[in-house]
């Protein structure tokens, strides 16, 4: 099969990237904070989706939104074609030859953001995907496999609390029933939010036929750390994603008057919470891992009232699952011990857990080789590529982040590094799809 490769007239390196970046940058940016608030199934999300569809249309790609709200822009194969005869659901990950076979080569990322997120986390991968396709075709390459650019729905989970909802639904890691029942802070369910945005929530569910048509997925992403800045490499290839999870700690105490209750008479859950935060930091330091309490809810949340309930969410990540489990157990023990001293009851609920993801070595090494032996590095952040890797050979490219800052308006990458990423992605697409 030989997809039509439309000529990219007047292409110059960087121009398509810069033009897309300029058009996408204002969408969903909060004028006050300068950060992005592109939450799933909101007006800002709709703007980003319309931008994606426009980019597909401008290139003559066929654009579709799948049953789970992920967007796909296809070159070379109708999106609803029959599954490739060689592939069944989930067989991709087990195939011996990386990027071999007849499956499509897909690249992309996500366009949604965390609250007041940066411009690069997600969008860099989508913009680079379109730009790499432009560069590939401008080289005169003739892909022998279908190519697609993807925009995965609700990767950050900022609104409904569950990261990578779009790819989790597609791979069956999230059931449609559980997804539809997710609620945002205002009590709106995901089903209602989708419906209001014009997407039918009844269609949610696993999509094995689609996964079977994909031979390889490559996600380019801004690095969320300073490894590349330290090593002096503009680009790197992901080796693994650390196992990570979220735990909710509920500290139940006794509400009382801040002005009349003696210190010795208090059951103050804020105190226990504070000790728990310190313990998490200490245990993480000892384990060479990460532990963060970044979100808190307090009842009754009055300035002159001892709290009755403090809720803190622990995000923890480590290089392996044993270290992660031991770390969280140690934090739970510390919370319980301090709770006993303070007369506060502690309950811990695990809200999510993602095991370690080792990217397929053959594909990873082939990509590193195509890029002249790019550096391999692990990451502590979850990504759609990590979810998809259970069903499809997947890989990630990282672009150097000079400050390491991410999930913040200060997140950045140098334009030269971004363009190096586009060229690298074009090299990868050429190596995998244009033998
Ligand atoms: Zn991301």
**3-class secondary structure per residue, 328-342:** HHHHHHHHHHHHHHH
Residue 167 alpha carbon to ligand 1 centre in Å: 13
With respect to residue 10, please indicate whether it lies within any of the assigned structural domains: no
Q: Which two tokens stand for residue 260?
A: 């009349």
C-alpha to C-alpha distance for 422 and 200, rounded to whole angstroms: 34
379 shares a domain with 344: no
Cα dihedral angle (144, 145, 146, 152), rounded to 10 degrees? Answer: -140
Residue 50 alpha carbon to ligand 1 centre in Å: 19
395 shares a domain with 314: no
Write phi, then psi, for 98 (nearest 5 degrees): -65, 135
Q: How many domains does the chain have?
A: 2
pLDDT in tens, 147-188: 999 999 999 999 999 999 999 999 999 999 999 999 999 999
Q: Examine the fold and report which residue of 333, 354, 375 is the final residue of a domain before the chain moves on.
A: 354
Residue 269 alpha carbon to ligand 1 centre in Å: 34
- What is the per-residue pLDDT for 93? 37
Counting as low any pLDDT under 50, the low residues of the chain are: 1-6, 83-100
With respect to residue 4, please indicate whether it lies within any of the assigned structural domains: no
Residue 109 alpha carbon to ligand 1 centre in Å: 7
- The domain that holds 42 is classified in CATH as 3.40.630.10
310 shares a domain with 269: yes
C-alpha to C-alpha distance for 178 and 135, rounded to whole angstroms: 41
285 shares a domain with 248: yes
- The domain that holds 325 is classified in CATH as 3.30.70.360
| Tally of CB atoms within 10 A around 177 | 10
C-alpha to C-alpha distance for 368 and 314, rounded to whole angstroms: 34
Tell me the residues surrounding ligand 1 (ion) with CB < 5 Å: 121-122
User: How far does the chain reach from its first CA to its final CA, in angstroms?
Assistant: 13
C-alpha to C-alpha distance for 163 and 352, rounded to whole angstroms: 9
With respect to residue 2, please indicate whether it lies within any of the assigned structural domains: no
Residue 117 alpha carbon to ligand 1 centre in Å: 10
Domain containing 268: what range?
244-354
How far is CA 388 from each of CA 34, 47, 165, 256, rounded to the nearest angstrom? 32, 25, 12, 50
- What is the per-residue pLDDT for 81? 55
With respect to residue 6, please indicate whether it lies within any of the assigned structural domains: no
- What is the per-residue pLDDT for 395? 97
Residue 412 alpha carbon to ligand 1 centre in Å: 13
- What is the per-residue pLDDT for 78? 55
């Amino acid at each position: 099969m030989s997809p039509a490769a439309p000529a990219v007239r007047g292409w110059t390196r960087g121009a398509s990237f810069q033009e897309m970046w300029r058009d996408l940058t204002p969408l969903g940016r909060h004028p006050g904070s300068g950060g992005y608030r592109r939450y799933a199934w909101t007006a800002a999300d709709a703007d980003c989706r319309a931008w994606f569809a426009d980019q597909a249309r401008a290139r003559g790609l066929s654009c579709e939104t799948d049953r789970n709200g992920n967007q796909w822009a296809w070159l070379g194969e109708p999106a609803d074609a029959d599954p490739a005869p060689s592939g069944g659901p989930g067989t991709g990950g087990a195939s011996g030859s990386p990027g071999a076979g007849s499956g499509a080569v897909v690249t992309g990322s996500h366009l949604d953001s965390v609250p007041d997120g940066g411009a690069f986390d997600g969008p860099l991968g989508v913009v680079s995907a379109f730009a790499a396709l432009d560069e590939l075709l401008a080289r005169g390459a003739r892909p022998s496999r279908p190519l697609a650019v993807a925009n995965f729905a609700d990767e950050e989970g900022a609104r409904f609390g569950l990261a990578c909802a779009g790819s989790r639904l597609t791979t069956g890691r999230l059931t449609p029933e559980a997804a539809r029942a997710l609620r945002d802070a205002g009590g709106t369910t995901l089903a209602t939010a989708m419906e209001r945005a014009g997407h039918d929530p009844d269609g949610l569910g696993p999509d094995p036929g689609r996964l079977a048509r994909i031979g390889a997925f490559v996600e380019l992403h801004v690095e969320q750390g300073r490894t590349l800045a330290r090593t002096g490499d503009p680009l790197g290839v992901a080796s693994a994603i650390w196992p990570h999870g979220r735990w909710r700690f509920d500290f139940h105490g006794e509400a009382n008057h801040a002005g009349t209750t003696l210190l010795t008479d208090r059951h103050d859950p804020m105190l226990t919470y504070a000790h728990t935060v310190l313990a998490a930091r200490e245990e993480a330091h000892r384990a060479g891992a990460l532990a963060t309490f970044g979100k808190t809810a307090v009842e009754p949340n009055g300035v002159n009232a001892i709290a009755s309930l403090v809720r803190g969410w622990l995000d923890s990540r480590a290089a392996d699952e044993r270290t992660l489990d031991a770390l969280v157990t140690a934090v739970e023990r510390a919370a319980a011990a301090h709770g006993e001293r303070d007369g506060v009851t502690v309950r811990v609920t695990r809200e999510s857990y993602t095991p370690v993801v080792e990217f397929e070595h053959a594909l990873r090494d082939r990509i590193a080789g195509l890029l002249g032996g790019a550096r391999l590095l692990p990451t502590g952040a979850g990504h759609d590529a990590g979810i998809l890797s259970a069903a499809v050979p997947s890989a990630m490219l990282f672009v150097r982040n000079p400050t390491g800052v991410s999930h913040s308006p200060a997140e950045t990458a140098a334009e030269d590094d971004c363009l190096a990423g586009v060229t690298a992605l074009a090299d990868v697409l050429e190596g995998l799809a244009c033998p």
